[in-house]
Amino acid sequence: MNQEDLMKRRRFLGSSLAGGAMVGAGASAQDRKATKQLSEPGVGSSTDWHVDEIIVERKQAGKPHKGKMLAAIQPHCDDIPIYAGGTVLKLIDEGYEGILINMSNDEMAGRGATFGEVIRNNELDTREVARRMGLKEVEFLLYRNHIMDGAQMLEMRARLIFLFRLYKVDTMLVYDPSGLYERNPDHYTTAKAAEAAAWMCGSKWDYPEHFKAGLEPYAVKERYYFSRGPQLTNRVVDISDYIDKKAYVNVANVTQGPAGDNGARLRRKLAAEGKRLPLLGEDDDTANLQYTKHIALRRDRERGQMHGLEYGEYFHYIRPPQSYANRYVAENTVPL
């Protein structure tokens, strides 16, 4: 990356994190009102963005996304619940159907006496997470945990292309392939494989044997990228109405992650010391939900409050492509 590109990234990040304007619910209208795009994605154009304001995406009434499909993609069983669980719940509530794609076998994190037990426990948690989020299917790709960067990127990409076409995925949520810092190789490998697959699945020239099996080219049109570290942020999703359900989703990840049954464990530990934390209530279920909402998910509260919300999730959002040529023709065509 040259110095000019680096400065562009710094300006993008600085303007994104400095503050935000709260606007209406329609995402496309929001983008047109609140951002200046230097050039639109398309043939021969740049995809650089200059963001003047962060967009706040709010809950929409009814089912405006009925008929659409989302794919929530994660290397490990707790990634989507932590970083994008509220947004998935919101989109499902607004009419989306969805699938969960778990890239690794989750062998390197969580409780269990053997690798096999850890893998099994995480799989059961992941299935319950998907159920609580309202997703209709879970796909396990079972790459070795923590060494996904040593796996075949080509194979990962091909399998994702197949799934995107099979389910006709319109929108995906995944780690940001342009994240500024990430130490976990599974995170950035998943992000890069998903980004390439989302583009290639719309081409009739990539894996044409799929079409003999009844599939069709189908491009992923919209992306919500999240990150554990610093990222290019241009959208905050208001998850205030979904925070209790997001906590319930995260409680399902008992084997690993910051939530699970940590509230009940803390409550029992304090009781053994002759102490109690009023937040945790009088039973294990209350303790787990309250611990998750107020402690494990505190970042959502802090981020939301920065934008006048109770709770919010941050994203680098890529909107559906818009053709300048088509818009120009529509606005300037005259009768013969």
Mean pLDDT of the chain: 88
- pLDDT level of residue 242 (50, 70, 90 thresholds): very high
Helix (H) or strand (E) holding 56: strand 54-57
Whether 1 has a pLDDT exceeding 50, the answer reads no
Res. 6: pLDDT tops 70 = no
Does position 10 have pLDDT exceeding 50, yes or no? no
Judge whether residue 15 has pLDDT over 70: no
Task: Kindly state the average pLDDT of the residues 39-43.
Answer: 38
Closest CA to 135 of 292, 249, 297: 249
Among candidate residues 307, 300, 314, the one with its CA nearest the CA of residue 234: 314
Query: pLDDT tens digit string along 117-164?
Result: 999 999 999 999 999 999 999 999 999 999 999 988 999 999 999 999
Q: For residues 325 and 284, what is the distance between their CA atoms, to the nearest angstrom?
A: 59
Lowest mean pLDDT among 49-53, 79-83, 202-206, 292-296: 49-53
* Mean pLDDT computed over 314-318: 95
Which of 73-77, 110-114, 170-174, 277-281 shows the lowest per-residue confidence on average (mean pLDDT)?
Answer: 110-114
> Residue 3's pLDDT is what?
45
Res. 327 pLDDT band, cuts 50 70 90: confident
* pTM of the model as a whole: 0.84
Percentage of the chain lying above the pLDDT 90 cut = 77
Question: Averaged over 292-300, what is the pLDDT?
Answer: 97
Homologous superfamily of 66-259+297-322: LmbE-like (3.40.50.10320)
Tell me what pLDDT residue 27 has.
44
Return the higher-pLDDT residue of 166 and 325. 166
> What sign does the dihedral 168-172-174-179 (CA atoms) show?
positive
Q: Give me the pLDDT at residue 266, please.
A: 98
| Alpha carbons 232 and 12: distance in angstroms, whole number | 7
Q: Which residue has the higher pLDDT, 114 or 45?
A: 114
pLDDT confidence of residue 52 = 53
Using pLDDT thresholds of 50, 70 and 90, give the confidence band for residue 51: low
Q: What is the spatial distance between Cα 190 and Cα 157, in angstroms, rounded to a whole number?
A: 9
What pLDDT score does 126 carry? 98
